[in-house]
C-alpha cells in the first residue's frame, strides 16, 4: 500500500470514529432528556394526583381551605367546649392547628398525603405537634366515636350520608360544627357568621334522638349564636 493510500485510509477511519462518537453522545443526550422528562412527569403526577383524585370520586370533596373568618367562627361556637376535636377532611390542617392552640387535643383525617405531611410540618413549626395528630385516611372508613367535638367543611352531596354516620357513631355529649354547608335534616342549635363563613352547631343529644324518632327536616336554627356553656 502506497503512502498516499495509507493516508486516505486513516482519514476515513478518523471520520468514521468521529461519526460514531457523535451518534453515541446524541443517544446519551436523548436518554438523559427522556429520563428527565419522564421523571418530571412522574413527579408532577405524584404531586397533583392526590389533589385531583377527590374530583373523580362519587362525592367530589376538593381541597378548599377554610377562610380565616370561618376558622374564627368555628372556635367561637366551640369556645365553651374542651377535650378532643376532629376535623373531617382536614386539608392543610389550619382548623386542627387553630383548635390545638385554643386548648383542644385536635386530630385531622385527610385523604391527601401531601396535605397531611404539610399539616404535620406546620404543627411542628407552630409548636402544637404534641396536641395534634394527622392521619392519612378515608373519612368513610374511620370511626369518629372517640371525639367530643367534630368539625366538617364538606359539600352538600355528602351531608346526608355523613348525618347517618355521625348519628350512629358519636356519643350524646358531642357537638358537631358544619362549615359553609349545613346538614340536611338535623336542627342546628345555633349558627355563627354569614355567607360563606357561616357555621352551624349541632348537639348530638338532639340529632341522635331525631334519628331514633325518625324526625324530618327543619332548617330554622332555634337560637342564633348562643352557645351552651357545658363541655
Ligand X SMILES: C[S@@+](CC[C@H](N)C(=O)[O-])C[C@H]1O[C@@H](n2cnc3c(N)ncnc32)[C@H](O)[C@@H]1O
Q: Which residues bind ligand X (CB under 6 A)?
A: 54, 61, 63-66, 87, 89-91, 94-95, 109-112, 115, 138-140, 153
Q: Which helix (H) or strand (E) holds 193?
A: none
Place of cell 370511626: 143
Hey, how many other C-beta atoms are within 10 angstroms of the C-beta on 40?
Answer: 10
| Beta carbons of 142 and 113 less than 8 angstroms apart | no
With respect to ligand X, which residue has the nearer C-beta, 86 or 174? 86
With respect to ligand X, which residue has the nearer C-beta, 92 or 189? 92
| Beta carbons of 182 and 154 less than 8 angstroms apart | no
With respect to ligand X, which residue has the nearer C-beta, 1 or 56? 56
Least distance to ligand X from the beta carbon of 103, Å? 19
| Beta carbons of 108 and 135 less than 8 angstroms apart | yes
Least distance to ligand X from the beta carbon of 88, Å? 7
- The three grid cell numbers given for residue 189, joined into one nine-digit string: 342549635
Least distance to ligand X from the beta carbon of 213, Å? 30
With respect to ligand X, which residue has the nearer C-beta, 21 or 140? 140
CA distance 42 to 47: 9
Hey, how many other C-beta atoms are within 10 angstroms of the C-beta on 169?
Answer: 16
> Minimal CB distance to ligand X: which residue?
89
Q: Which of 143, 73, 53, 128 lies closest to 96 in space, CA to CA?
A: 128
- β-pairing, 175-179 vs 199-203, is antiparallel
Least distance to ligand X from the beta carbon of 200, Å? 14
With respect to ligand X, which residue has the nearer C-beta, 67 or 82? 67
Least distance to ligand X from the beta carbon of 95, Å? 5
Least distance to ligand X from the beta carbon of 152, Å? 8
DSSP assigned state of 206: H
With respect to ligand X, which residue has the nearer C-beta, 106 or 204? 106
Amino acid at each position: 500500500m502506497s503512502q498516499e493510500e495509507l493516508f486516505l485510509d486513516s482519514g476515513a477511519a478518523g471520520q468514521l470514529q468521529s461519526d460514531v462518537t457523535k451518534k453515541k453522545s446524541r443517544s446519551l443526550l436523548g436518554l438523559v432528556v427522556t429520563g428527565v422528562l419522564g421523571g418530571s412527569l412522574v413527579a408532577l403526577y405524584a404531586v397533583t394526583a392526590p389533589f385531583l383524585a377527590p374530583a373523580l370520586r362519587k362525592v367530589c370533596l376538593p381541597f378548599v381551605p377554610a377562610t380565616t373568618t370561618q376558622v374564627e367562627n368555628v372556635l367561637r361556637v366551640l369556645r365553651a367546649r374542651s377535650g378532643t376535636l376532629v376535623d373531617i377532611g382536614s386539608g392543610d390542617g389550619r382548623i386542627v392547628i387553630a383548635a390545638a392552640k385554643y386548648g383542644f387535643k385536635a386530630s385531622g383525617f385527610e385523604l391527601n398525603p401531601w396535605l397531611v405531611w404539610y399539616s404535620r410540618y406546620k404543627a411542628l413549626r407552630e409548636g402544637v405537634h404534641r396536641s395534634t395528630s394527622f392521619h392519612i385516611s378515608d373519612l368513610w372508613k374511620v370511626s369518629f366515636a372517640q371525639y367530643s367535638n367534630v368539625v366538617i367543611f364538606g359539600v352538600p352531596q355528602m351531608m346526608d350520608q355523613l348525618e347517618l354516620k355521625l348519628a350512629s357513631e358519636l356519643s350524646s355529649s358531642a357537638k358537631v360544627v358544619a362549615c359553609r354547608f349545613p346538614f340536611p335534616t338535623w336542627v342546628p342549635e345555633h349558627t355563627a357568621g354569614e355567607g360563606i363563613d357561616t357555621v352551624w352547631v349541632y348537639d348530638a343529644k338532639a340529632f341522635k334522638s331525631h334519628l331514633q324518632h325518625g324526625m324530618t327536616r327543619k332548617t330554622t336554627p332555634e337560637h342564633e349564636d348562643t352557645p351552651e356553656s357545658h363541655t
